[in-house]
Amino acid sequence: MDRQRRKILELGLGGIGLIGGAIACSPIISNRNNENNQPTPKKIVIPPMSLNEAAQTRIKTSGLDPIAALREFDYGKVSQENGRTVREFELTAKSKTVKLNASTDFITWNVNDRVPGPTLRATEGDHVRIAFSNQAGHAHSLHFHGEHASEMDGVKPIRNGAATIYEFEAKPYGVHLYHCHVAPVARHIGKGLYGMFIVDPPTPRPPADELVLIMGGYDIDGDGRNEMYAFNGLPHFYMQQPIAVQQNQLLRLYVLNMIEFDPAATFHVHANIFQVYRTGRGMTPTEETDVITMGTAERHILELQYRFTGKYMFHPHQDAIAEAGCMGLFNVVA
């Protein structure tokens, strides 16, 4: 056990509490202002998004912020150990009630008070160290997709009030995810305990406007079926507040399906065709389409450009899922 990990573990729950107090200052940053030597698209134009009054009210009253989930990436606290880049993240399982619409409250189990949790980002080969504290009232864990040793697989429940450290090498490059793996897993994920984990390739991808879109479902009445759906946590939000994107500029979508209880969901964009990088595991696209089918936990990088200005819908092509909240608009501007 290295000295840094031993130090964190020796701090115990009290130490994690101190870490938790620093979470608000963790370097969750937009791809517009990358200060950690990541592949920053310096010439990419991010059109300003002036939130309308209704969107501002929903963010304030719901307890969720889909705008923050869209373009913010957490690169962790970066240091060097034995010539290797180390990224330290601080994640806390919590529970809070969110307002999905004017008449529906839902008790979430979440990461850092967010649904989805923060999008973590590293470069292939980095050493990742995650201080995980459970303050959610039930046993939880964090299971990361990717390659790592069995003792870091995150299937062991961490009791309420306890903490642990997960650490591993970030590999392979691609789009991955993390989620609670305590049974019943579908219930723990369905209540919001998940997030995206991006491992960038050693050779950076071309500059692009990068957006995270995570599809999720809500089983409101506990019957094992979803009654509501959403991109980035809040049903219908991007219909209410379209996502501004620049005309004739590369748009890179990191899309993840975290809908439990439904076997699959598609992702479809209107009036365009996207290039598909399956699981982000390649530098050249394997296909192009305007609809792609994704089982639960499947994720891809999708790239496209809009030639014409205007508003264009995106949604699963299971229309019942779309109409129950998983639908949004790109607002393409000149």
List, in order, residues 6 or more apart from 190 with CB less than 8 Å away.
217, 218, 219, 226, 260, 261
Per-residue tokens: 12: 């115990």
Residue with token string 């990068």: 210
Mean pLDDT by 10 residues, the chain (334 residues): 45 38 41 47 83 95 96 98 96 98 97 98 98 97 97 97 98 98 97 98 97 98 97 98 97 98 97 98 97 98 98 97 98 97
Residue 22 confidence (pLDDT): 31
Please state, in angstroms and rounded to a whole number, the distance separating the CA atoms of residues 92 and 201.
27
Strands 243-246 and 251-258: unpaired
Residue 11 confidence (pLDDT): 37
Per-residue tokens: 183: 């049974």
Listed residue (196, 201, 168, 178) closest to 277, CA to CA: 201
Residue 43 confidence (pLDDT): 85
Please state, in angstroms and rounded to a whole number, the distance separating the CA atoms of residues 272 and 245.
14
Residue 16 confidence (pLDDT): 41
Threshold 0.75, pTM exceeds: yes
